[in-house]
Amino acid sequence: MSSDPSESIESVLNEERVFDPSPDVADEARISSLSQYKMMVDQAREDPEKFWGEAARKELHWFEPFNQVLDWSNPPFAKWFSGGKTNISFNCLDRQIQNGNGDKEAIIWEGEPGEIRRFTYKQLHQEVCRAANALKDLGLGKGDLVALYMPMVPEAAIAMLACARIGAPHSVVFGGFSSEALRDRLIDGEAKAVITADGGYRKDKVIELKSAVDLALANNACPSVKSVLVVQRTNESIDMQTGRDHWWHDLVPSQSDFCSAEHMDSEDRLFVLYTSGSTGKPKGVVHTTAGYNLWAHLTFQWIFDIRDDDIYWCTADVGWITGHSYIVYGPLSNGATSVMYEGVPRPSNPGAFWEVIEKHKVSIFYTAPTAIRAFMKNGRSLPDKYNMNSLRLLGTVGEPINPEAWMWYREVIGGNRCPVIDTWWQTETGGVMISPLPGATPTKPGSATFPLPGIEADVVNANGETVPTGEGGYLVIRKPWPGMMRTVHGNEKRFRESYWEYLRPTGGNLIYFAGDGARRDSDGYFWVMGRVDDVINVSGHRLGTMEIESALVSHPAVSEAAVVGRPDDLKGESVVAFVTLEGTSSASDHLINDLRNHVGNEIGAIAKPDEIRFSDALPKTRSGKIMRRILRSLAAGNDISGDTSTLEDRSVLDKLRN
């Protein structure tokens, strides 16, 4: 392992608090005891195909039934529910209306400036059909990749569902990414169209989106992109290129409000979503129709034990997998009411989250540890001003949650009555993998507890052997599951190598390596320790150190760069860059600023280094590999522990210390 998780292990090893599900939560829950959970685990283990097959038949609508549950004849390339035909947009809309949910609210949206829009399932169905027909008018259809670069407006969810309806895979690019990052993704995915907005609101400022799309497409950089559909959100003036650019309000509202859902093969691509890895450019994670739908659907039902009268709110952005699975597809596929909020807590409204909970009587709240820690720092007086009695369940996702933040969340936000559901998963897994079940699992602050039924998670050494209780190791999944990613777009080799061949088990069975370190305690609880590869997690956002390094090196003043994560109380990790300069350049505050902006332009503001240190040289092995372990210690202000005998030039260390 490249990073040493032992320190964080120490801090949670002493965690002995256990919170049993309260009887009233358990009584009403679908999965209402640990023994019921264990029975499901056993059923899934004994006959996985029966378990998944029954779930798929029961939970999804099929235009045509599947004839095989899992085809694992060519691992790691899985085929789930072969022969079946379904459509996730149908499952999220038409089926809900058929089930009598037509007049139930599907989405309650609130914009940052405070406007509210509500869509019942019937209304959402109509909007999605109109948008789908508009996409068809633009010549788009089955198999054509459509990129979305959107603010958090209802049209983002509508566009995703419209793409799915006509069988056009979507590729949502987070609106905080730069035009460069957008361009890379448009080219890699060979996008045929982009759906965007003039801009969006973030922290009381207008964020321009359309101008970034224009930049990404300039000089015919993405020849595959033939049209751009633009939602009017901010009314800023933007350039519209005749023939290529169309206003949403010109094209969509006049369409027919009916569009039948394409009958999609189970394994047809549903979406591509890019995420950072430890090497090279971001990977296009590919998810397909039926398996992903089932996994988003089932996990949402299990972990939140969703009820008909719940008002559910996930604070993520649709640009991330959390937004895909737990703002749009999971909730709607279950006929739930999903709140979508454009804003974030900001100086003009620091209590924005609590206000949304109070106003919309949110009963299930799903957010990231980084947000909890930020509130915790400022004390309970702010949340105490709001009435949050409607809450019955709290979830967290994105990074390890420290026991203190977990306790604060439970006590201050949840009034000691709401179970805290810490959910571990990844873009690649499609949905939650390790998580408590509110009616069944006794929770421990800081632990994601147990794998969901059917998920064969383990903690292993480099040979794929289970490590003893209490010891740290690699977090792996031993068996395929329906929501697993199918491949890296355009790069099967990278898919195989980064996930399935990283560890070489002695028995020869392929196992999925997630990139995280973990340990299990004597009760079998999983404690996820964070990444053990060169990926860092800043406020729940995944960043590849190599990506930031190549951004830095593309600046004319930089000769070499090494980027590491440094533990950060608020953000989980922060970005520290060690930089050596080209001969004529010299270190200055001006240059630091310039380099930070450069990274912002190449990737996006979230990737800007928090600290840049200049140095004459970087510590390297004799074979020329940068020793990040040493840089991590230096960045954290720790002594350099461990072996330094492979270091080529030991004097570098003394220089770096200053």
Q: Which residues bind ligand WT7 (CB under 6 A)?
A: 275, 321-322, 397-400, 422-427, 448, 514-516, 528, 530-531, 537, 540, 542
Annotated binding residue 411: no
**Whether residue 76 has a cis bond before it, omega within 30° of 0:** yes
Q: In this structure, what DSSP letter does residue 239 have?
A: -
Cβ(169)–Cβ(272) under 8 Å? yes
The reply to whether 295 sits in an annotated binding site is no
Say if residue 531 carries a ligand binding annotation. yes
Among 162, 156, 163, 168, which Cα is nearest to 196's?
Answer: 156
- Please tell me whether 427 is known to bind a ligand: yes
Nearer to ligand WT7, 76 or 277 (CB): 277
Q: Is 400 annotated as a binding residue?
A: yes
Annotated binding-site residue? 305: no
Q: 52-91 burial by CB neighbour count: b if 16+ within 10 A, else e? A: bbebbeeebbbeeebeebbbbeeebbbbbbeebbbbbbbb
- Our CB check for ligand WT7 shows the closer of 422 and 458 to be 422
Q: Tell me the closest approach of the beta carbon of residue 513 to ligand WT7, in angstroms.
A: 10
**Ligand-binding site membership of 322 (annotated):** yes
Q: Name which of 85 and 486 has its Cβ closer to ligand WT7.
A: 486
How far from chain centre, in Å, is Cα 414? 24
When the beta carbons of 79 and 297 are compared against ligand WT7, the nearer one is 297
364-367 vs 535-538, strand pairing mode: unpaired
- Identify the CA nearest to 84 among candidates 67, 104, 105: 67
- Please identify, using beta-carbon distances, which residue of 472 and 619 lies nearer to ligand WT7: 472
Q: How far is the CB of 400 from ligand WT7 (least distance, A)?
A: 4
Q: Give the residue with the Cβ less far from ligand WT7, 169 or 395.
A: 395
| Least distance from ligand WT7 to the Cβ atom of residue 292, Å | 14
Residue 481, token pair as written in the block: 């599951």
- The conformational region for residue 204 under phi > 0 = left, psi -120 to 50 = alpha, else beta, is left
Question: 658 Cβ partners below 8 Å, 6+ apart?
Answer: none
Task: Measure the CA–CA gap between 170 and 144, rounded to whole angstroms.
Answer: 8
The answer to the question of whether 422 is labelled as a binding residue is yes
Shortest spacing between CB 531 and ligand WT7, in angstroms: 5
Nearer to ligand WT7, 91 or 427 (CB): 427
Closer by beta carbon to ligand WT7, 177 or else 425: 425
Strand order through the sheet with 420-423: 116-120, 105-110, 337-341, 311-314, 364-367, 393-397, 420-423
Least separation in angstroms between CB 432 and ligand WT7: 8
Nearer of residues 8 and 32 to ligand WT7, judged by Cβ: 8
The answer to whether the annotation marks 555 as part of a ligand binding site is yes
Q: What angle do CA 416, 299, 260 make, to 5 degrees?
A: 130
Is the CB of residue 305 less than 8 Å from the CB of residue 324?
A: no
Question: First-to-last CA distance in the chain?
Answer: 28
Q: Is 339 annotated as a binding residue?
A: no
Q: How far is the CB of 18 from ligand WT7 (least distance, A)?
A: 18
Our CB check for ligand WT7 shows the closer of 95 and 489 to be 489
Percentages helix, strand, coil for the chain (3-state, rounded to 5) are: 35, 25, 40
Q: Count of CB atoms within 10 A of residue 548's CB?
A: 24
* Backbone CA torsion sign across 132, 134, 140, 144: negative
Report the SS3 class of residue 474: strand
Residue nearest to ligand WT7 (CB): 427
Residue 226 in marked binding region: no
247 is in an annotated binding site: no
Residue 423 annotated as part of some ligand binding site: yes
- Nearest distance in Å: CB 540, ligand WT7: 6
Burial 186-214 (b: 16+ CB within 10 A, else e): bebbebbbbbbbbbbbbeeeebbbbebbb
**What is the closest distance, in whole angstroms, from the C-beta atom of residue 395 to ligand WT7 in the complex?**
9
Q: How far is the CB of 50 from ligand WT7 (least distance, A)?
A: 28
How far apart are CB 273 and ligand WT7 at their closest, in Å?
A: 9
- Binding-site residues for ATP sit at 398-400, 422-427, 516, 531, 542
**Binding site for Mg(2+): which residues?**
553, 555, 558
Residue list, annotated binding site for CoA = 202-205, 322, 539
Binding positions are 202-205, 322, 398-400, 422-427, 516, 531, 539, 542, 553, 555, 558
